[in-house]
Amino acid sequence: MEKTTVTTNKTQEPRAASDAVLPRLGFAGTLRWAWRQLTSMRTALFLLLLLAVAAVPGSLFPQRPSSPSVVTKYLQDHPDSGPVLDWFRLFNVYSSPWFSAIYLLLFISLIGCVIPRAIAHYKAIRSKPPRTPSRLSRLPEYGTLQIPASQGVTAGQAIKDAAAVLKSRGYRVDIRDADGERPSVGAERGFLREVGNLLFHTALIGVLIALALGGLFGYSGQRVLVEGDTFVNTLVGYDTFSPGANFNAGDLDPYSVQLDKFEVKFDRQKAHYGQPLDFTATMTTKASPSSTAKKQILKVNDPLALGGTNIYLVGNGYAPVVTVKDGTGKIAFQGPVVSVPTDGAYTSLLVIKAPDAKPSQLGFVGFFLPTAVKDGNGVAFGSDPDPFNPQLNLNSFYGDLGLDKGQPKNVFTLDTSKLTQLNGRDLKAGGIVLGPGGSYTLPQGKGSISFDGLKRYVALDIHHDPGQVWALIFGVSALLGLVGSLFLARRRAWVRTGMHPDGRTMVEYGLLARGEDHRLAAESAAIRKLLEKAWLAARTDSAEDNKQAEPTADRVSAASGTAHSASKVSKDQ
């Protein structure tokens, strides 16, 4: 038979990689892919880091909600870069769109991570422990035991005993093939580890929600309160006020606080002379206009709580009581003047403005000394923070104070560039020096000033944060969850039994940890000890009973048999 050869010129070339046809995701597939990327743990960690980085400009640049005047001055001092920074909302970092976007994405990412993991963990809790491996000897912790035939323990009974031992160790057990030739039990514990992990991430979400509540509906403000004065919780009652994004003035609780007395205790020991030891403000508070007044004490780090608002003591000083009369003899200003301490002796700067004085507005700039002492050049200085020798040292000015133009002015500063000076150390009239009860007549018939008395004042910091308690609860929960996820171990254990032809019951067991667990060996030793106690201790008790019924020679033989049987117990492999 002749062979027929068929040839062809066509050759099959391999398809290039660029010619591969990839499946199209489509709109739904693209959304699914984007959701999986957003809800991955890697993305959540990246967003958390990005949020921390995004908060940095808030500490580098002044923020408009808390310091609007500082932002205005910054824009004036930096006419080129200031508007650019303002366009990027770097003066309103925490309410900027880009910061809010990072915050919301992190919030969504954490929710997307936690919910599927919680569902999967719930299913794992309800499911049975994993099947028994065919070769337990491959597990990290493995051991064998032998129950002598004299014990009469069958393989099924041994499995029930092993299940009881594992239950006593907190394992969830499942007995397999109890009546078969090689019954086994699977056990699992440590589900609280994943619960702690889920609690930690859920608590982080709760902290984010609590912070958002505080930023939206909370507020903070400051108020300087002189002895005898009352603060009512209204917008006009604050010296400075910073509302939340969704703040409503109608949400203010109508409480009131009156400063009855403020006392400061100073150290009189030589080593720490003059250092403050204790600040005590005696307050009269009312939760509402119709409620009963209560006496309360306000101290540093011990705030008052009224209507969900915390009132903190953050500063104090002296407020000299003065009376300023104008050139017509009428009172242009009367009352306490808050002074700003500059050192430990409470040497304080103060400014007095009398815009109602006629025929010219009056202004005073100077300092207050609680205890005035003169040096060798006749210059007064403060030597003690207690008011043993109070003294006012002032310079006076007249002219337009700039208060009639509707522009806000700092009450603690006086612009003297457009004013005419009446008194001063370098002028012929000299400076104004007043003690308690003293008065001084101004030159050119401009009026007079008197030092009528001395009071103290406190600086209050008022915070209302509706999410503060929740932030604390979620913060503690996150800590507990973190501790649980770090110190609780997820473990699995299996025990398999079988009958030897000579009647012995052969037992093997193995343990496996999910993740790193340096205490797994100790757990294996504890389980082995309990198994030995359940089986071998009963055998020893039976041997002791037999000894009492046998002759002396037989007792020695029985004891040898017991030792021989005990030597068959193998160690952990």
Could you tell me if 254 and 314 lie in one domain? yes
**Do the strands 219-226 and 230-232 form a parallel or antiparallel pair, or are they unpaired?**
unpaired
Q: Is residue 477 part of a domain?
A: yes
Could you tell me if 478 and 548 lie in one domain? no
Could you tell me if 364 and 242 lie in one domain? yes
Could you tell me if 411 and 351 lie in one domain? yes
**C-alpha to C-alpha distance for 447 and 371, rounded to whole angstroms:** 28
Q: Is residue 187 part of a domain?
A: no
Q: How many domains does the chain have?
A: 4
Amino acid at 468: Q
Q: Is residue 488 part of a domain?
A: no
Could you tell me if 257 and 271 lie in one domain? yes
Q: Which of 435, 453, 482 is the C-terminal boundary of a domain?
A: 482
Q: Is residue 272 part of a domain?
A: yes
Could you tell me if 403 and 364 lie in one domain? yes
Q: Is residue 39 part of a domain?
A: yes
Could you tell me if 339 and 255 lie in one domain? yes
pLDDT at 543: 46
DSSP 395-423: EEEES--S-SSS----TT----TTSEE--
Radius of gyration of the chain (CA): 42
pLDDT at 526: 94
pLDDT at 33: 87
Q: Is residue 9 part of a domain?
A: no
pLDDT at 380: 85
Could you tell me if 210 and 305 lie in one domain? no
Domain residues for the domain of 98 are 29-125
Whole-number Cα distances in Å, 142 to 138, 139, 184, 532: 8, 6, 15, 15
Could you tell me if 46 and 77 lie in one domain? yes
Q: Is residue 299 part of a domain?
A: yes
Q: Is residue 527 part of a domain?
A: yes
pLDDT at 495: 95
pLDDT at 313: 93
Could you tell me if 165 and 249 lie in one domain? no
pLDDT at 453: 93
If one counts every other C-beta atom within 10 angstroms of the C-beta of residue 474, the result is 22
Taking 70 as the pLDDT cut, the residues of the chain under it are: 1-22, 406, 537-573
Three-state SS at 169: coil
Whole-number Cα distances in Å, 167 to 121, 244, 488, 529: 21, 54, 17, 15
pLDDT at 306: 87
**C-alpha to C-alpha distance for 104 and 44, rounded to whole angstroms:** 11
By the 10 Å C-beta count (0-12 exposed, 13-18 middle, 19+ buried), 349 is classed as: middle
**C-alpha to C-alpha distance for 411 and 339, rounded to whole angstroms:** 10
Could you tell me if 204 and 232 lie in one domain? no
Could you tell me if 236 and 333 lie in one domain? yes
Among candidate residues 426, 485, 394, the one with its CA nearest the CA of residue 198: 485
pLDDT in tens, 150-199: 888 888 999 999 999 999 999 999 999 888 889 999 999 998 888 998 99
